Amino acid sequence: MYYESLIKFLDAFFKEQEIVANEDGTFSAKEKNIKIEYNEGSKCYELFTADKDSEFVKISSYLFDESQKESDVESVAIDFADSLRKNLGIKNKRSAEAIELPTDEGGETVSLSGLTQKLLAFFPAYKDTYKVHCSENNRFLPVDFYKENLIPAAKNLLSSGNKKQIKKFYDAMREIYVNGDAETGSFTVAVIAAAVYQNEELKKEALAQNETECRTFSQNIDTFCSAIKANKKLRDSLIK
């Protein structure tokens, strides 16, 4: 199920680590062989490694059923790459100190990098956390980082009662929503909805703050709040 797409997502990691494909469908690193299979019975991808001339041993599995889309295999690739780093003893190439903070790329539309930059400006305590996150994962995983750090920070701010800072936050998020690309707009809505959906008063304030300036933004926040309540998978992906 989407096996070829999974291998494509792993391609950059394989090239970086000089892992090559074999004719029998397995892969070879310097000291180990690697095999990836989809188990129809348990509905999961399975990752195996073996020392040269030894039997394969399963080191990781990832549940993946018919409800998931082709794009979802990226999560499998990330998990398997992390498992292989540990199994093969691969160390991260970049230290946290070498990681640069996200920047607004300066195009006609605001990107996810621009949104993340703005959120870190509101919550500067997480700048070092961002660098550590990128170093440990060898990339930025926006859903994970937002769930663990920025959404809880937004919830704390919106619960603080600091009206001036709350208005400033909503003004900034609304501007990014209006000027952002589709992905950025979705993340902006998700941040606010995930921060307020459990508290009716905070939700009402979020809708009221944005209704006049951008009714679509307000409506999308409302719709997303309902989606979080109704969809456990979505809820688990956003709520710490």
Q: Which residue has the higher pLDDT, 84 or 139?
A: 84
Instruction: Determine the pLDDT at residue 111.
Output: 93
Mean pLDDT for the stretch of residues 84-112: 81
Q: What is the pLDDT of residues 11-68, one digit of tens each?
A: 988 988 899 999 999 999 988 999 999 999 999 999 999 998 899 999 999 999 888 8
Q: Are 84 and 12 within one domain?
A: yes
Q: Are 146 and 200 within one domain?
A: yes
Three-class DSSP category at 221: helix
Give the integer Cα–Cα distance in Å for 35 and 49: 6
Q: Are 7 and 41 within one domain?
A: yes
Give the integer Cα–Cα distance in Å for 51 and 204: 59
Number of domains in the chain: 2
pLDDT band at 225 (very low <50, low <70, confident <90, very high): very high
pLDDT band at 198 (very low <50, low <70, confident <90, very high): very high
pLDDT band at 203 (very low <50, low <70, confident <90, very high): very high
Q: Are 122 and 231 within one domain?
A: yes
Q: 92 pLDDT exceeds 60?
A: no
Instruction: Determine the pLDDT at residue 71.
Output: 81
Half-sphere exposure of 16 (CA within 13 A, CB side): 13
Q: 88 pLDDT exceeds 80?
A: yes
pLDDT band at 227 (very low <50, low <70, confident <90, very high): very high
Q: How far is CA 52 from CA 13, 30, 31, 207, in A?
A: 21, 9, 7, 60
Q: Are 160 and 61 within one domain?
A: no
Phi first, then psi, for residue 198 (nearest 5°) are: -85, -10
Q: Are 81 and 101 within one domain?
A: no
Q: Are 67 and 116 within one domain?
A: no
Instruction: Determine the pLDDT at residue 94.
Output: 64
Q: Give the structural domain span for 77.
A: 3-88
With contact defined as beta carbons under 8 Å apart, do 74 and 11 qualify? no
With contact defined as beta carbons under 8 Å apart, do 27 and 35 qualify? yes
With contact defined as beta carbons under 8 Å apart, do 237 and 194 qualify? no
Among the candidates 69, 88, 107, a domain finishes at 88
Q: Are 83 and 101 within one domain?
A: no
Q: Are 103 and 192 within one domain?
A: yes
Q: What residues pair up with 37 in beta bridges, in sequence order?
A: 46
Q: Are 15 and 49 within one domain?
A: yes
Among the candidates 52, 67, 88, a domain finishes at 88
pLDDT band at 93 (very low <50, low <70, confident <90, very high): low
